[in-house]
Structure 1
């Protein structure tokens, strides 16, 4: 069973601070740069994880239209050519420069409401050999999981949130349990005190 010592690192930043946030509104996703055949795969992954969390999806967000945007592309410079993206993602050009220098193949940007809950997420995926080798369903599931909560930047650096079971790629049960606990209605949408990990562990234990 997961303990608070297992959970706390998932939301502990590089500077040692603890920060948890979940979506504070229904998720209205949109996907750019994939084939028509791939769209249902990504939508299906989103629907499955959101349903598991007990959260909601929507066709549109009243403020932003779409509030969870997935961009698939071959080169980081393509982002600077997307109309008005620089209005949604501040300092887009310097960000692209840094990601190119780091040879990164993925990056996520979050925006928050007045309470600190997630109100928008932007997922950028440069389809290099590594990402291109992944089955679309596996890639979609992994990316959806990583936008459901404001995980630590190091949360999945060593161990993927996914696992193989019965020849299929699935969400690791313990990560699914943390997501469900995080979306429990009795839990806060935002937390900065490490004691929050104790409450998550308690919810996980109750569910098991």
Structure 2
């Protein structure tokens, strides 16, 4: 990736540059799937965390779990999840807005005092399009989008995934994988709001 392409990955629609990575071990939990799909999702989390060189944990001391995946068929199901309204401010209006937009996914991040990611909530409304995707593809794509605070437009025109050459399996695009590794380099900051950060990421990739 060029520095300009990297900068675009973290430049939001309003023109602001906003980067963040996880600042604590990832402790995942998955709701609404069978055991087979649970294994696929957790396998994707482990693979991406290993790529980033980031730790995982059984529990988070503050939240219990800090990366939460919710799979469901209708947005209204969220209204009945016990205590979810305590984790997600204004859950009711959010559900109404997502229904009105015919959205099939939504991610919400929380940050610590240093600006690093402390929690991520991933909501997947399994409409016909998402249901038609192989579980491995859906899981890997969602985990990649949860490992960093990407721009809201980062993968609008191009998926972070690709077909493995000569195979039918789906893999993480090599350029995206390199960017994730660079973003988790210990010398890099956990949070950045200046586009000059993209130049530093490009330099780390060049050294890799």
**TM bracket (short chain):** over 0.9
- State the match for 2:138 in structure 1: 139
User: Over aligned residue pairs, what C-alpha RMSD do you find?
Assistant: 0.5
Aligned counterparts of 1:167 and 1:115: Cα–Cα separation in 2: 41
In the TM superposition, what is the alpha-carbon distance from 1:3 to its structure 2 partner? 1.4
Per-residue CA distance 1:115-151 (angstroms, 9 max, x = gap)? 1100000000000010000010110000000000000
The within-5 A match list for 1:7-156 is: 7-156=6-155
Aligned counterparts of 1:60 and 1:159: Cα–Cα separation in 2: 34
Aligned counterparts of 2:152 and 2:47: Cα–Cα separation in 1: 24
Aligned counterparts of 2:14 and 2:204: Cα–Cα separation in 1: 27
In the TM superposition, what is the alpha-carbon distance from 1:167 to its structure 2 partner? 1.6
In the TM superposition, what is the alpha-carbon distance from 1:84 to its structure 2 partner? 0.6
Aligned counterparts of 1:82 and 1:204: Cα–Cα separation in 2: 42
In the TM superposition, what is the alpha-carbon distance from 1:36 to its structure 2 partner? 1.1
- State the match for 1:184 in structure 2: 185
Aligned length: 206
- State the match for 2:197 in structure 1: 196
Per-residue CA distance 1:45-69 (angstroms, 9 max, x = gap)? 0000000000010000000000000
Is 1:5 matched with 2:36? Answer: no
Structure 1 stretches lacking a partner, 5+ long: none
Aligned counterparts of 1:204 and 1:6: Cα–Cα separation in 2: 13
SS in 2 for 1:9: helix
In the TM superposition, what is the alpha-carbon distance from 1:70 to its structure 2 partner? 0.1
TM-score after normalising by structure 2: 0.98
SS in 2 for 1:138: helix
TM-score after normalising by structure 1: 0.98
SS in 1 for 2:13: coil
In the TM superposition, what is the alpha-carbon distance from 1:37 to its structure 2 partner? 1.3
Aligned counterparts of 1:70 and 1:54: Cα–Cα separation in 2: 21
